[in-house]
Structure 1
């Protein structure tokens, strides 16, 4: 097991990013799209993906700072919530922290926006959308005296999971296709670096690895380790949702009055799936709603 430097958690004088190789995660374009929508134009609109969660950080500063610095500040603020109630139990005041380290999450999309607030001030908005959210009464992860993942433990969460001994994080196989049929092959995900804010993904996975390996410092010690913490991969749909969330630095409803919006969400399709096939799936899904009330129904959704 590789050693995770505590310098990772000292900001800003000492700062080291742990490079977490994505051995097992997959890019989900649906989730990245959600993230891009969430941060677009600094609106701060919380557009939480179905079954997922959204973190939003906003601040006004009298200086221009690069995106990596602002993302670091946002992630550090979210992680600092763990000190409010040390340990892996959930409280409403820790929701951003919980969303970041919820062990079942496997995909994320983040975005950043800077807006001129006038008078020499700048308004910053950072948003991250996650594909999973903790259930009421649940825990962000199953605490363990052991640290780092094991394949058997990972597969109790997802049957196709694997374990990276380098990071101590579980992972999911990347869907690939062959001439005969789709398959799932555990391999590095090149799509990670296609994320606009790849740096945010690195930082979040570094935090998750620190928790999994029992080296995440809290007052008086460290958070308990976890044998079933999953690494996150980039999801384009989540990133798009995050972008719209921060759009224009002003909260807004993205659906125009009198102009309905249909949304179709699906994940884990082969990466070479043709666009027209996915569009056909969406249209067929929306049209199938006619069967809910029968052909004589007078009211339909869009």
Structure 2
């Protein structure tokens, strides 16, 4: 149920804020921006305390940074997605890599695979009992930790399909400009907040950054008017997801 819940949530995010039409050729930069925007929306939900697990909602944070799509990171993601094999070319950064083997009957498009990748990278937290400091305790948390490490400010993503050698496979690779460390927090937890409150929350971590409207810190925003979260911390479910997971 949890994986399907995440997929549904990510589809809702895409429908609500991203102008992307499946199966229409767009530039690699635009595709990266689309994926990075979805990740930023998940980072905002984490910062606002709007992500639930089996153990309750994840703590909110004053110090989560917005990712900007970076040409350098896009190139690294493309290198890792080349021939649909993860070469782990990250140059000191961190990488998430997802692959999905397909059959002709699957008829999956890039949007579906991208959503599955992001859901896969988030899924581990749903049954993880974090400590109060959100400590990165083991490699099993790597994809979530890479995607949510609070100090990352740049990212680049790539989508690739390969038909040879069979079977066909589709991959999503995302590279981030910094990496979390085992034994240290993935992000600083601050209970009861809805992301950053003011520019000082951000500049105290990275000089020159400001508090943006979604509660994320960053270097530039079209508006700095804070939008307070109204989302529920309960997992998103529908009768369709319940039926799919129950098998009835």
Question: Which among 77, 86, 99 is matched to residue 129 of structure 2?
Answer: 86
Is structure 2 residue 155 aligned with structure 1 residue 113?
Answer: no
The structural deviation recorded for 1:77 is 0.3
Q: What is the distance in 2 between the residues matched to 1:27 and 1:12?
A: 24
The structural deviation recorded for 1:109 is 0.6
Q: Deviations over 1:187-226 (max 9, x none)?
A: 58xxxxxxxxxxxxxxxxxxxx9xx9996657xxxxxxxx
Unaligned runs of 5+ in 1: 1-7, 174-185, 189-208, 219-302
* Match of residue 219 from structure 2: 172
CA contact (8 A) 1:84 1:93 kept: no
Q: Does the residue aligned with 1:11 lie in a helix, a strand or coil?
A: helix
The structural deviation recorded for 1:11 is 2.5
Question: Which among 66, 90, 99 is matched to residue 48 of structure 1?
Answer: 90
CA contact (8 A) 2:95 2:173 kept: yes
Question: Which among 171, 177, 187 is matched to residue 141 of structure 1?
Answer: 187
Q: What is the distance in 2 between the residues matched to 1:214 and 1:139?
A: 25
CA contact (8 A) 1:53 1:130 kept: yes
Q: Does the residue aligned with 1:60 lie in a helix, a strand or coil?
A: strand
Q: What is the distance in 2 between the residues matched to 1:122 and 1:213?
A: 42
The structural deviation recorded for 1:169 is 0.8
Is structure 2 residue 148 aligned with structure 1 residue 101?
Answer: yes
- Cα distance change on mapping 1:104 and 1:81 into 2, 3 Å: same
5 Å-filtered alignment, 1:142-291, equals: 142-145=188-191, 146-150=193-197, 151-165=199-213, 167-173=214-220
Q: Does the residue aligned with 1:49 lie in a helix, a strand or coil?
A: coil
CA contact (8 A) 2:10 2:115 kept: no
5 Å-filtered alignment, 1:58-77, equals: 58-62=99-103, 63-77=106-120
Using the size of structure 2 for normalisation, the TM-score is 0.60
Q: Does the residue aligned with 1:97 lie in a helix, a strand or coil?
A: helix
The alignment of Structure 1 onto Structure 2 pairs a total of residues equal to 174
CA contact (8 A) 1:25 1:106 kept: yes
The structural deviation recorded for 1:31 is 2.0
Q: What is the distance in 2 between the residues matched to 1:122 and 1:74?
A: 16
RMSD between aligned alpha carbons? 3.3
* Match of residue 75 from structure 2: 33
The structural deviation recorded for 1:135 is 2.3
Q: What is the distance in 2 between the residues matched to 1:45 and 1:130?
A: 15
The structural deviation recorded for 1:107 is 0.8
The structural deviation recorded for 1:153 is 1.1
Q: What is the distance in 2 between the residues matched to 1:161 and 1:36?
A: 29
Q: What is the distance in 1 between the residues matched to 2:230 and 2:151?
A: 16
Using the size of structure 1 for normalisation, the TM-score is 0.50
Q: Deviations over 1:97-135 (max 9, x none)?
A: 00011111111111111122577x421221110001012
